Each structure stands twice: as C-alpha cells, then as structure tokens.
Amino acid sequence: MTSLTTFYLSGIIGKEAFGADGDSIGVIKDLLVNTMPSGNNDPNQQLVTGVRLKIKKDIRIYSFKSFIVTKAREMLNVTCTGLIELSAQEVNYGMLLVENILDKQIVDLNGRKLVRVNDVRLATLPTGTFAIAVDIGIEGLLRRIGLSIPIKKILTIFKVNIPAKFILWDDVQAIDHSNLNIKLSKSYAKLHTLHPSDIADILEDMGKKSSMSVFASLDEEKAADVLEELEPNAQIHILENLPVNYAADVLEKMPADEVADILDELEDDKAEMLLKEMDTESSQEVRDLLEYDDNLVGSLMSTDYLSFSATLTVAEVLVELRAKKPESAELYNMFVIEDQDSLIGSFNLRDLVVSEPNLSVSSIMKSDPVHLLDDQRVGAIAELVSKYNLLAVPVVDQSNRLQGMVVIDDVIEDLTRKRRTNKR
C-alpha cells in the first residue's frame, strides 16, 4: 500500500536534502512545476519536475525524480538518490513556484476577486509530486512565518478555528505578468466568463501593467462592457496605453453617451485621435454629444433608442425587435416618429406584449409623451422622472425632433460617479 504525502511549499523551502549516506547535499531554494500542455486536464501540467538546489555557493536546477519527500511527525525529510541536472529546454518548460507564484496576485474565479498566494500545497503520489492547490488564507501566511501551530493551539482553547482557504490549481488564473506571463489554468477563457463588473473590480485591484495585459486579452465586445464598468481613472489609463486602432474598435462597441463621457476626461489630442480612428457614424454621434455642456440634458442622453412608424403593426414591431436584439435599457420606452423624426408618441414593452398582433402602433401609443429638451438643465430630469415614475424619457430639440433618451440608470450612475470624484 502506497501512502500519500502532502506538504506545503513553505515547509520544503530552506530544507536540506540528504544523500543515501546521510550527508547533506544542499539546500532547497525552489521547486519547478511543468507547464507545457499535452492535452486537456493533463495532470503532468502540475508535476514537480525540478528542484533549485544551492550547493555551497552554486545554485542549479536538478531533476526532481531522484528526490524523495517523506513526513514524520509533521517534519519533512528530503533525500536524494543522485543529482541529474536539467537541460535549459526542460527548465523552460517549467515554472518556479517561489519565484513566480508565492506572494503573487491571482484571480479567484469562484470568489470573483483578486487574492494573494500565501503558500502552495503539494502531494506526492506513486506517479510523482504534484502542485494541487494554492493557499490564500490566513493560515498559509502564519505557516510561512512559523506561527501557525502555536496560534492554532491557543485558538483551540477558545474553540476557534482558522478557516482554510484553498483554490485548486486548475481553478486559478495568475495575472501578475512581471516575470513569465504566467497562466495556471488553460487560458483566459475562464476569466472571460465573469460578469464585466467583476472583471472591472479585478482590473482596478491589479497593478497597471497587469491590468493592461488582461484587458488586452479580452475580445472587443467583452472589453467594451468591462471598460464601461471601470472607474474614470482606470478608463483613462486603459485608453492611454492601448493601441489606438484597438481602443477605437472597443469604443465603437459602446453606447455613444458612454464614449462621450470617457473622451471628455481625456486630453483633447488623444480624444481627437480616437474619434478619427472610429468609423464615421459612431464618431459623429459622439462628437454631437460632446457639443453639449455638462449641465445640459443632452450631455446625459443616450442615442441608442428604438423608434417606429405609427403605421406599423404590433407583429411587425416584434419582428424588428427580434432582428435588432436591443439592449434591455432600450426597451424601457420606445418612440413613435413621423416626418423628419418628429416625436408623436411612445409605448413600452408591456403595451406591445398585451396587444393583438394586428393592431397598429398608433392605436397602442401614448400621444404627446412627456419629454425633455436637449438644452434643458439636468435638474429637470429628476423632477420629471419622480413625477411620472419613468425609466426612460425621450429627448427632443426645439423643433420636436427626437435626439435620444435619458435613461434613469445613466442618471444615477452619473450622480454616483460625480459624488465619488468630489470625495477625492
């Protein structure tokens, strides 16, 4: 029967390795884990393949196959049957745990946050020694400084436990790229499954270099959603360091009002460079919004809205909605226009769903809807929204031409952002 030996990286680093004759060979400085993929869920990707050993003043990396780790009364013993130095290629296929993982920041995909590695748990099996999890808990930190056992004994008296916090090796994504562009899981794909606001929180906790590396790995759609969720200073940092063509592509995927808010915070030269790189239609929408002063309704309106002719039927509108697949905010309120985009009515999703398919839009719309002028003061928004309990209000110019809509979500976000900025 083969026994399983589990131990921690902190317990083996600094240990002396002994030869068959009982004499000390050298001191263990680090362990090398294989990172070369050879198939899905390949356990060899976490196999310990090498050991960095200090022999007198010389430090080299040797094969771990000839090293045996045993544990007796919680004390680790390391013996070696012979030193076999690894080739440069074999070393390149691996990653040193102390140098590249310990104390590094990683993404806890389950907890949706950035955490720091306090220790690494390893296990010796008949097929080799493997890295199986990272310790992100307080116990791992206490173990590193040699206080884990005495503190646990004291806490036991009071019937208090230090909760263990581990993340399995495959559920971790390393994002501190200061050394080897580390990835512990197979790709960034797992990170991409998080909600944009979670990714934004993680990026804001990272160092600037790491946050840029992760953001640049996102596809344009996801990058646009994440950029929208970032704080203004983080948005500016990202846009100032991305290649202009990629930054412009990301901005084109965002609502024009959000882009205008971001570009308003950039240096004029940088903003103009991005606007010129964007496609003409998207760029013009943003330019039009930037013309409004910050204290006017037009500066807060969204130009992404849904408008229809009064002659369409309910069934025809539903067909258009299925084809357009609009964002949820666009469905808060839909508008009816006639010649030269003149606003004549509005209806919401409920009006549409409960109506017979053959009814015309003119028969379900509310005529002369409550609206805002694009050159009104922003203070008028709160009064109108609270009075009529609206989620979205159409915005027109002095000629009653529909210009956009103010969405209550954007108003709240803008007020919150200004409050945070003022506190700083």
Tell me the C-alpha distance between 151 and 153, whole Å. 5
What pLDDT does 333 receive? Answer: 93
Where do the domains of the chain lie, and which CATH numbers do they carry? 5-173 (no CATH), 218-291 (1.25.60.10), 307-421 (3.10.580.10)
What pLDDT does 292 receive? Answer: 92
Residue 266, burial from CB neighbour count under 10 angstroms (0-12, 13-18, 19+): middle
Strand ranges of the sheet holding 342-347, from the earlier edge strand across to the other edge? 307-309, 334-338, 342-347, 366-367
Assess contact for 263 and 293: CB atoms under 8 A.
no
What pLDDT does 45 receive? Answer: 64
Residue 171 DSSP label = G
Nearest by Cα to 96 from 59, 138, 148: 59
Residue 127, burial from CB neighbour count under 10 angstroms (0-12, 13-18, 19+): exposed
Mean pLDDT of 158-180: 66
The two three-digit tokens of residue 365, written as one number: 């719309």
What pLDDT does 415 receive? Answer: 55
- Provide the pLDDT confidence category of residue 297 given band limits of 50, 70 and 90: very high
Average pLDDT of the chain, as a whole number:
85
| In the predicted structure, residue 53 carries a pLDDT above the cut 90 | yes
| In the predicted structure, residue 410 carries a pLDDT above the cut 50 | yes
Mean pLDDT of 63-72: 91
Residue 65 DSSP label = G
| In the predicted structure, residue 186 carries a pLDDT above the cut 50 | no
Percent helix / strand / coil, the chain, rounded to 5: 40, 25, 30
DSSP of 383-422, one letter per residue? HHHHHHT-SEEEEE-TT-BEEEEEEHHHHHHHHHHHHHHH
Tell me the C-alpha distance between 56 and 101, whole Å. 26
**pLDDT tens-digit profile of 17-52?**
999 888 999 999 999 998 776 555 555 668 999 999
| In the predicted structure, residue 267 carries a pLDDT above the cut 80 | yes
What pLDDT does 214 receive? Answer: 81
**CA–CA–CA angle 181, 183, 184 (5° rounding):** 145
- Is residue 204 within a helix (H) or strand (E), and if so which, with residue range? helix 196-205
For the chain, give the percent of residues with pLDDT over 90.
49
Strand ranges of the sheet holding 5-8, from the earlier edge strand across to the other edge? 5-8, 119-125, 128-135, 166-168
**pLDDT tens-digit profile of 115-143?**
888 999 999 888 889 998 888 887 777 77
- Is residue 208 within a helix (H) or strand (E), and if so which, with residue range? helix 208-216
| In the predicted structure, residue 180 carries a pLDDT above the cut 60 | no
Nearest by Cα to 85 from 66, 68, 57, 110: 66
Tell me the C-alpha distance between 25 and 367, whole Å. 90
Instruction: Please list the residues that pair with 288 across neighbouring strands.
Output: none
Assess contact for 104 and 95: CB atoms under 8 A.
no
What pLDDT does 287 receive? Answer: 94
What pLDDT does 166 receive? Answer: 85
What pLDDT does 31 receive? Answer: 96
What pLDDT does 179 receive? Answer: 47
pTM: 0.66
What pLDDT does 192 receive? Answer: 73
- Is residue 232 within a helix (H) or strand (E), and if so which, with residue range? helix 232-241
* Least trusted range by pLDDT, from 15-29, 198-212, 259-273, 357-371: 198-212
Assess contact for 21 and 1: CB atoms under 8 A.
no
Pairing of strands 5-8, 128-135: unpaired
What pLDDT does 126 receive? Answer: 85
| In the predicted structure, residue 397 carries a pLDDT above the cut 60 | yes
Nearest by Cα to 168 from 185, 180, 152: 185
**CA–CA–CA angle 94, 99, 103 (5° rounding):** 125
- Provide the pLDDT confidence category of residue 378 given band limits of 50, 70 and 90: confident
Instruction: Tell which wins on pLDDT, 5 or 304.
Output: 304
Pairing of strands 172-174, 24-34: unpaired
**pLDDT tens-digit profile of 323-363?**
999 988 899 999 999 988 999 999 999 999 999 999 999 99
- Is residue 70 within a helix (H) or strand (E), and if so which, with residue range? strand 67-72
What pLDDT does 414 receive? Answer: 60
| In the predicted structure, residue 248 carries a pLDDT above the cut 90 | yes
One-letter amino acid at 160 equals V
What pLDDT does 3 receive? Answer: 60
Tell me the C-alpha distance between 404 and 397, whole Å. 10
What pLDDT does 141 receive? Answer: 72
Instruction: Tell which wins on pLDDT, 380 or 418.
Output: 380
Tell me the C-alpha distance between 90 and 409, whole Å. 55
| In the predicted structure, residue 103 carries a pLDDT above the cut 90 | no
Residues 6+ apart with CB under 8 A from 256: 282, 285, 286, 289, 302, 303, 304
| In the predicted structure, residue 418 carries a pLDDT above the cut 60 | no
